[in-house]
Amino acid sequence: MCEEGGSEGNSSTKERKVVAVAHCILNQSTRWWFKGETSSLSSGMVKEVVDHLSSLGIGVLQMPCPEFGFYGNPRPSMTKDDYEKASGFKAHCRRVAKGFCNDLEDIKRLGRKPRVKILGIVGVEHSPSCAVEETPRKTNKGTVYRKERGIFMEELEREVRKRDLGIPLIGVNIHSPKDELLRMIKFFKE
Ligand code: SF4
């Protein structure tokens, strides 16, 4: 048993709120890195997002990184088309999504008193795997961002729906996290 403080100090039965976030929001070291180039912000985390959730009293569940779990690093920057062609990657994403949904189900089932409410799943825009609204596609004119989910988010959403978990998805652009905060505040307060 893990217990802290006085008998009533933190024992309120008020509902606890949590969100599930893409792995790299808490750990940038899993982002692609190739020949000294990377899209990672730093070796740390996306502090603005974490601080913001903390200020709202929202806890964080970290999802596995599907790309790092499949390729590790070094790996180059790739589009959704590239990952669709990568043999086994979609199945890997499906496995990871199922495993993570098992965790979400456990939290919902075991978080009885106080109840644990999972407010949402936070993805990363422009990722071929974790984008919620805009994912990179290859065209004759180079890479463009199309209105569609990344491969992992597609699998995760399918699994969330199949199990009737009722958890919405929101994506953040980690390169302009401050601009994303208002959107997140609105999303998580609704
Ligand atoms: S966006 Fe998703 S796949 Fe890409 S580094 Fe972050 S967690 Fe991994």
Q: Among 38, 135, 24, 151, which residue's Cα sits nearest to residue 88?
A: 151
Q: What is the pLDDT of residue 9?
A: 47
User: Over the stretch 52-78, which tens digit does the pLDDT of each residue have?
Assistant: 899 889 999 999 999 999 999 999 999
- Output the CA 29–ligand 1 centroid distance in Å: 10
- Residue 100, both tokens: 């993570």
Query: Once rounded to an integer, what is the mean pLDDT over residues 84-103?
Result: 98
- Residue 23, both tokens: 């792995």
- Output the CA 111–ligand 1 centroid distance in Å: 28
CA-closest residue to ligand 1 atom 2: 130
> What percentage of the chain has pLDDT greater than the value 70?
92
Q: Can you name the residues that pair with 170 across neighbouring β-strands?
A: 122
Q: What is the pLDDT of residue 5?
A: 47
Q: What is the pLDDT of residue 188?
A: 75
- Regarding the beta carbon of 68 and ligand 1, being less than 6 Å apart is answered yes
User: Over the stretch 39-51, which tens digit does the pLDDT of each residue have?
Assistant: 887 779 998 889 9
Q: Do the strands 58-62 and 16-21 form a parallel or antiparallel pair, or are they unpaired?
A: parallel
User: Over the stretch 103-159, which tens digit does the pLDDT of each residue have?
Assistant: 999 999 999 999 999 999 999 999 999 999 999 999 999 999 999 999 999 999 999
| pTM score, whole prediction | 0.93
Q: Among 64, 60, 62, which residue's Cα sits nearest to residue 50?
A: 60
Q: What is the pLDDT of residue 23?
A: 98
Q: Where are the domains of the chain?
A: 16-176
Q: Give the ligand 1 atom nearest the CA of 24.
A: 6
- Output the CA 121–ligand 1 centroid distance in Å: 13
- Output the CA 182–ligand 1 centroid distance in Å: 22
pLDDT(174) > 50: yes
- Dmax (CA) for the chain in angstroms is 65
**Is the separation of the CB atoms in 68 and 58 below 8 Å?**
no
- Regarding the beta carbon of 130 and ligand 1, being less than 6 Å apart is answered yes
Q: Do the strands 169-172 and 116-124 form a parallel or antiparallel pair, or are they unpaired?
A: parallel
- Residue 153, both tokens: 């988010």
> How many whole angstroms separate alpha carbon 31 and alpha carbon 73?
8
> How many whole angstroms separate alpha carbon 110 and alpha carbon 126?
34
Q: Among 165, 180, 126, which residue's Cα sits nearest to residue 18?
A: 165
